[in-house]
Amino acid sequence: MFFLTYLRRELRRRARQATFIALGLALGVGLVVTVAAASSGVKKAQGTVLASLYGVGTDVAVNGGDPGQPTVPAQPPAPVPGKTVNNLTPVYGSVKESKVTDVAGLHDVTSAVGVLSLSLQSITFHVGAPTLTSLAIDGVEPGHDALGPLSGATLTSGRMFTSADSDAPVAVVDANYAKSHSLHVGSAIPIDGDTFTVIGIVSQAQQVGGTPTDVYLPLAQAQTLSTTGYGPQTNDVNTIYLTAASAADVTAVHKEITALLPGAAVTTQSSLASEVTGSLSTASRLVNELGKWLSILVLIAAFALACLLTMAAVNRRARELGTLKAIGWRSRRVISQVLGESVAVGIGGALAGVGLGYAGVAIIAALAPSLPATVPVNTGNSVGHVQSASAGSSLGGNTTTRVLHVPLHASVSVEALILAVALAIFGGLLAGVFASWRIARLQPVDALAQVA
């Protein structure tokens, strides 16, 4: 009890100095919290971009690259007004479905799924200019929604695919596509001469490469659709999504897949991130490099200030502390009292620093503009006068770029708060340790000399 009473009295007596030290620590801690929150916001923004390019939960994606040019008739049929011509083309080159099992069996791979991405281009001829419509189709493995293009989708009505749907003419459609085409669960969709029944409707985030996939089909159904000019896609996929055992294994997985599929294009999150340029990339470098070093420098300055001021306070209290030793206080007791005061100041700095950090986050939220990110976008391949476009993927194929404006949402994590409080208390303890060194050398005769 006496310890706390003495501590409270000494802090109140030197309130100005204690406040000054606490504010110095708070400035460093607040900057750490703000930089950590900004870094978290930038990482989330990057994650939004990469998830659109790549797929939720995916560590590595493999595709067959450019599917090449299709075989087209030497004498294409003459356009007939009112007639619609369909071109159903794969987005990427083919990979045998058996390779999915080979990839899943690699040492550092935990799971893998195959997807067949198709683009249906329909030209309706008129007296004037023809009308072009596009339908993005993904053939997915039923019952494997946790990985691949459906992993980030939210079911709004109906149900997802199950293993029983492998050979069924059923479809899951995007909510926006369903709304624009007046589709609901139970509706029929004609696709290149075949009819599919809608069993589910999903909501999907906007993709950086355009719009999300319009229609999902069971993989076997997508493989049996007509693919004029490219030959049948039976037992083929053109993208393999997989997860590695850990982030450290991604490089090893990349090498293993390159050896297994030498002609395929292998893409990792790091390689995709390196292709993203613009303000988002600049902000990431600023936060991760400049922000980190600025935080370190401010913390060093705050710690140095706390140490110097605490040492100066001990020098001014030499008479008081020496007298305590003279009346029987052991050095250990005097040191613990000063350390207690320093820790209390550190806790005060931590609380104030957390407040400053939240204020910095609020300022970022109010003033930070959206961050433009320039990303590669797959434009597909030319089929006659029809352009087949990729749906939300930039892996392989012919690419161009697109600018996406990503909002920055800075958020304070529990880990950042714990780190901030620990740093402030550490700063107080560090100042107390230097002061303790001075106290240990203090002799009662110093106090008596000053009293005289």
Give residue 171's pLDDT. Answer: 95
Encode 271-285 in three state secondary structure: HHHHHCEEHHHHHHH
Instruction: Return the closest-CA partner of residue 352 out of 309, 307, 302.
Output: 302
Residue 160 has pLDDT above 90, yes or no: yes
- Summarize pLDDT for 420-444 with one digit per residue, the tens: 788 888 888 888 887 777 666 666 6
Residue 126 has pLDDT above 70, yes or no: no
**DSSP string covering 81-107:** TT-EEEEEEESS--EETHHHHHHHTST
Helix 292-316 to helix 414-440 angle (10° resolution) is 30
Residue 330 has pLDDT above 70, yes or no: yes
Lowest mean pLDDT among 239-253, 294-308, 318-332, 333-347: 318-332
pTM to 2 decimal places: 0.57
User: What one-character DSSP code corresponds to residue 144?
Assistant: -
Residues with Cβ within 8 Å of residue 448, at least 6 apart in sequence: 322, 326
Whole-angstrom CA distances from 451 to 26, 318, 320, 323, 444 are 37, 11, 10, 9, 11
Instruction: Return the closest-CA partner of residue 100 out of 62, 137, 152.
Output: 62
How far separated are the first and last CA of the chain, in Å rounded?
A: 32
Residue 395 has pLDDT above 50, yes or no: no
d(CA 413, CA 153): 26
Burial of 277 from C-beta contacts in 10 A (0-12 / 13-18 / 19+): middle
Select the highest-mean-pLDDT range: 37-41, 178-182, 288-292: 178-182
Amino acid (1-letter code) at residue 99: K
What integer best gives the mean pLDDT of the chain?
75
| For residues 151-158, average pLDDT | 89
Helix (H, G, I), strand (E, B) or coil at 428: helix
- Summarize pLDDT for 78-119 with one digit per residue, the tens: 666 656 666 777 777 788 888 888 888 888 888 889 999 888
Q: Where are the alpha helices (DSSP H) in 376-443?
A: 414-440
User: What one-character DSSP code corresponds to residue 69?
Assistant: P
Residue 209 has pLDDT above 70, yes or no: no
Q: How confident is the model at residue 381 (pLDDT cuts 50, 70, 90)?
A: very low
Whole-angstrom CA distances from 94 to 71, 263, 415, 438 are 15, 10, 45, 75
Give residue 170's pLDDT. Answer: 95
Amino acid (1-letter code) at residue 163: S
Residue 446 has pLDDT above 50, yes or no: yes
Give residue 189's pLDDT. Answer: 92
Residue with the bigger pLDDT between 275 and 271: it is 271
| For residues 169-196, average pLDDT | 92
Residue with the bigger pLDDT between 164 and 384: it is 164
Instruction: Return the closest-CA partner of residue 268 out of 79, 62, 36, 68.
Output: 62
**DSSP string covering 280-303:** HHHHHHIIIIIIHHHHHHHHHHHH
d(CA 95, CA 80): 36
Residues with Cβ within 8 Å of residue 378, at least 6 apart in sequence: 91, 209, 389, 390, 393, 394, 395, 396, 397, 398, 399
* Residue given tokens 């002799």 in the structure block: 443
Q: How confident is the model at residue 67 (pLDDT cuts 50, 70, 90)?
A: low
